[in-house]
Amino acid sequence: MTTENASEVLAAWETSSQYWNKHQALIEQMYAPLSRTLIEEAGIVEGQSVLDIGGGSGEPSLTIASVVGGSGSVTYTDPAAGMVRAAREEAKRRGLSNIQFHQCAVEQIPFAEGSFDVAVGRLSTMFFPDVLRGLREVLRVVKPNGVVSFLVWTGKDFNPFFSVVTEILDRFVQAEPEKEDAPTAFRFAAPGKLAKLLQQAGATSVTERTFEFSIEAPITVEQFWEMRTEMSDTFRNKLARLVPDQVAAIKYTVQKKMAGYFKSGSMVIPGQVLLVTGRKPE
C-alpha cells in the first residue's frame, strides 16, 4: 500500500470513529464471541501484559482487562485519534485502571523489544498498510516464546452481515475493481494467506483455524441499515452520490434480503472468521 493510500485509509477510519463510538455498546455485544475466542486462542490469563493492535472503539482491550486483572495490564493501540479517544472514555466510564492508550501505527509501535507476553489483533490486520512490516513489529515487542494471535474475516459467502449491503449497493454504484491486497474486510479471507505472512515475519508454530459464530444484537432490520451505512466510510460516500429514490430502493432491497435474520426485534446473523496464531522464537 502506498503512503497516499495509507493516509486515505486512516482518514476514513478517523471519520468513521464517531459512528463506531455511537454504536460502541452494540459492536461490543455483536463481537463478544470473537473477543472470547481470541483470548482463549492466545492463552491470555491473569497477570499477563497484553498488547492490542488496532483496538478500535475499545475491544478486545476492555474484555482482556477483566481477564488479566489488577496484576496484569493491557496496552491498547490504534492509529485513529477518534478511536483512541472513544476507547479511553469507555475505559474511564467503567473504572478500568489497567489499560494504557496509545495512538500509533502498527509499523511504529513505541515500545522496547520483548515488552509484552501476548499481542492480539481483532479484525485489524486486514487494514495494516504494510502487513509484513507490521507483523515483524508486533513480533519485536513480544517476549521470546510470546504469543501473537490475529482474527480476520473469511469469505463473503460466510459473512452476510458485510456482503449483502455491499452487493446491493454495487448494483447502483459501480464498484472499482478491487486490488488483491487492498485494505478491505476480506483481505485475508483466503486460507493460508495471513499464516504464510506471519511465518515470513519470523513467527514459529503458526496455526490457523476457522471459527463460526452468530452476530447477535437486540435490533431491528431498520436499525441494522442505520448502523451498517453509518459505520462504513465506503457506504456513506456512495449513498451521498445518489438521489433519495435510489437510496430508498437500496434500503428496501437490503431490508428485504436481510429480513430472515431478524425475528421479534432481534438480529441473529451467521459469521465466520479465521484465527491465525504463532510464537516469537526463543
* Residue 20 pLDDT: 74
The Cα–Cα gap between 241 and 39 comes to 41
CB-based contacts of 272: which residues, under 8 Å, 6+ apart?
A: 153, 154, 155, 158, 159, 210, 211, 212, 213
Q: 10 Å Cβ neighbour count for 127?
A: 22
* Residue 10 pLDDT: 66
Is residue 184 within 8 Å of 178, Cβ to Cβ?
A: yes
Is residue 234 within 8 Å of 228, Cβ to Cβ?
A: no
Domain 3-279: assigned CATH number: 3.40.50.150
* Residue 103 pLDDT: 96
* Residue 66 pLDDT: 96
* Residue 265 pLDDT: 85
For the chain, residues with pLDDT lower than 50 are none
* Residue 9 pLDDT: 66
The Cα–Cα gap between 228 and 225 comes to 5
Tens of pLDDT, residues 182-227: 888 999 999 999 999 999 999 999 999 999 999 999 999 999 999 9
- Sequence spans of domains, the chain: 3-279
Q: State the alpha helices, DSSP H only, in 81-213.
A: 81-93, 131-141, 160-172, 193-200
* Residue 2 pLDDT: 56
Q: CA torsion sign, 2 to 154 to 236 to 164?
A: positive
